[in-house]
Structure 1
């Protein structure tokens, strides 16, 4: 269970090291680094969710879209930040992951939220493939609410 606000209980938290070189001129984590945090958490999540003997990354998985809301500036700390990741939608060949970037242990502030859509991809024939039943079941086991981002709001 996570203790982060607006993060489903099925989410998994991964410690992600924030490097000094991740900082920008304002002494905050640079915006592009959040995509790297998402990627690193996703690599760990895939091993955790799909097992050590099955690596979706080697089988073929492509990022097709990403969206991030930067909520507060994250500053450097010697302790790792924490990235929560969970599945929030499963389609025939694609799925969407939700993310929340929090501070080090003891700092449950969510500094950024995001979503990433991925497609299962057959590397041999260079085209999307359908998710298998085992993949769908693993993703359903870690499925929770889709994080709401600023771009989701209906403009009047």
Structure 2
């Protein structure tokens, strides 16, 4: 099982009046983890471009849109100075869409603060239409696919 792990920095402003991270901030945390995962794909594409074996980095430049989020809050998360680990993995891959799973947890993994899923659609902004996932995008996503 391979997961992409992002160390999410916390900001004091993420806290709400009850002294824990506000529920909407969790979606920002998930976005940061997802974007960093896509940036890793972009870096790979740049490295391949240097060798002349690359296509466009479509997940970043061609586009991907969030179609749906679902989140379950499991435990309060209070501010801490250390980044919060967020695991990201691929749950399903379709022709033009894929679903990511997330786990926001403590450093040991013993406390899970939230679990979530996001459905994303590959998108062509020029034609304003969904598009098919490209072979290299699918190959990248398959590295993080969990049954």
TM-score by length of 1: 0.82
What is the deviation of 1:30? Answer: 0.4
TM-score by length of 2: 0.87
Which of 54, 66, 69 is matched with 1:66 structurally?
69
CA RMSD of aligned residues (A): 1.4
Question: What is the alpha-carbon distance in structure 1 between the residues aligned to residue 114 and residue 24 of structure 2?
Answer: 12
Question: What is the alpha-carbon distance in structure 1 between the residues aligned to residue 41 and residue 146 of structure 2?
Answer: 14
SS at match of 2:137: helix
| Cα deviation digits, residues 64-93 of structure 1 (max 9, x gap) | 000000000000001111110011100010
State the number of aligned residues.
Answer: 136
Specify every segment of 5 or more residues in structure 1 that has no aligned partner in the other structure, as ranges: 1-8, 146-156
SS at match of 1:131: coil
Tell me if the contact between 1:46 and 1:55 (Cα under 8 Å) persists in the aligned partners: no
